[in-house]
Amino acid sequence: MTLVYFLLLPLIAVVIAPLLSPKKATYLSSFAFLLPFFAIIGCLFLGCPEKVHLASFSSPLGEFYLNFDFISHAFGLTICIVSAMIALFALPYMKHRFEEMERNVDSEFRKYILLYNLYAASMLWLVYSGNLVLLYVFLELTLITAFLLIYSYGYGNRKWVGLLYFVWCAVAGVLMLAGIVILAFENDSLALDMLMLGGKVSMLAWAFIFAGMIIELPVLGPHVWLPWAHAEAPTPVSALLSPLTVGLAGYVLLRIALIDYSFIETYRMPILCYAIFSSIYAGFSVFKQTDFKRLLAYSTVSQMGYVLVALCLGPFGLIAVVIQYMSHAFGKSILFSCAGGIIAVHHGLRDLTKMGGLHDSIPAISNAAVVGFLNLGGMLTIGMLGEFFILRGAVETFLKPESPAFLGWTGGLPLILAMIFMFMLSVWYGFYTIKKVFYGKPKDTKRLEISSYLYLPLYIIGIVSVLLLFPPLSTALIQGLNSIPGLCLGGVVP
């Protein structure tokens, strides 16, 4: 029960923070997510109850409960540390934004911090929801709060962009709800533990949920809303929307795959080829962008291709879904915050053609960006584990004769080489962006004095991403994931 009390802290902050001054509200919000982060770390090592009952309803709803398995813990600790640090980053950034919009700082910050905390808390409770209806409710809360934040505080034609985001994600939510309704009447329960005991997900239910989450993820095609939303959202929202909210579609697909993997097995090859093509296409699209935040948005589309690839690769791949979510969240929250730092200290600068040599004026932000791209490239951070499990999953799926998807070297090797190229492309566009933005001939060599809020939180996220690569954190996480039915590395996905 102890972890439940910690999970309540962000919801309490939703109510209390708007009553405080901006600095006190920021500190309260940050601590409200930091404390659950440490509590979750404790659960990784010491364990905690598998579930906490909330309410019971007649079929087809079933039990509402909090699900405390290692998948929820991995997603939960990621949401907590990123939300805590971005809350700190946002203190000077949003003050700058309110002044830019010629609004009263104190009154606007109260509205902002309420929406921010509700947005982040909804994501946290979503990943601990043990019933698909409860999960859907929190998913819709994230949609509404993110829409209000973009609509109220975004850039450019923020109202149109906010509505664009809302409509696309509302369609995704409706498709997912349709799938959940079908699933409910097929199984007489939407409680995850009951579904895991032998529940079935029909191809029709899977198709609705998959279509909805492809829009939410998103990959090539349904991605059209994402560059607009990420680029024009206020940067703290971009720093949560890209790494956390978007990746939660992968969480939903993972949960459904653990109930019934048959849809993925049936359509494995078209999904896999589509995901690889999407990732590579979006990776090359990064080079065409001249707006820094739009560049990062296309990087998100590329990285979400990793998640969809991993979903197709059996138990090893499903573990990679979890780790890739974490790696992308750490890296992209850092990078969007770096873009926001440049906007704040260089008077709205976003155009890459006007950048170059910024390391000389803002080295702290420049160095943080390197850590962010190391996460995306899978170098010296937890991203290395994500890429390892994707490749191991590919080998187990396509090159092992006992695998039902066995292709042999002739068919499997080209797919594995395409995945390796997909990984290399992230490194390529990462170093390209660093060079384009921070190095080369400086336009201004004057060292700027910047608030420590704009870079210290990013280093803390970066340190966490490195620590999770090594024991004891990586060992506890992987062993915990391996204990979950369907994720057992020696087993077969149900």
* pLDDT tens-digit series, residues 175-198: 999 999 999 999 999 999 999 988
Residue 276 lies in a domain: yes
From residue 404, how far is each of 268, 313, 318, 409, 448 by CA, in Å? 11, 12, 17, 15, 59
Range of the domain at 361: 2-482
Q: Name which residue leads in pLDDT, 243 or 483.
A: 483
Give residue 493's pLDDT: 40
- Quote the mean pLDDT of the chain: 92
Q: Is the pLDDT of residue 9 over 70?
A: yes
Residue 344 lies in a domain: yes
Residue 491 lies in a domain: no
Residue 310 lies in a domain: yes
Give residue 118's pLDDT: 97
Q: Is the pLDDT of residue 5 over 70?
A: yes
Q: Is the pLDDT of residue 11 over 90?
A: yes
Q: Is the pLDDT of residue 291 over 80?
A: yes
Cα 101 from Cα 112, distance rounded (Å): 14
Give residue 57's pLDDT: 92
Say which residue the tokens 């962010």 belong to: 372
Give residue 251's pLDDT: 96
Nearest Cα residue to 394 out of 373, 426, 418, 375: 418
Average pLDDT over every residue of 323-339? 96
Residue 494 lies in a domain: no
CB–CB of 129/180 below 8 Å?
no
Give residue 488's pLDDT: 60
From residue 82, how far is each of 238, 272, 421 by CA, in Å? 12, 29, 29
Residue 267 lies in a domain: yes
pTM of this prediction? 0.95
Say which residue the tokens 């949560």 belong to: 240
Q: Is the pLDDT of residue 62 over 60?
A: yes
Nearest Cα residue to 428 out of 286, 277, 226, 220: 286
Nearest Cα residue to 213 out of 151, 134, 275, 128: 275
Q: Is the pLDDT of residue 131 over 50?
A: yes
Residue 487 lies in a domain: no
Residue 489 lies in a domain: no
One-letter amino acid of 343: I
Q: Is the pLDDT of residue 29 over 90?
A: yes
Give residue 491's pLDDT: 41
Q: How confident is the model at residue 307 (pLDDT cuts 50, 70, 90)?
A: very high
Q: Total structural domains in the chain?
A: 1
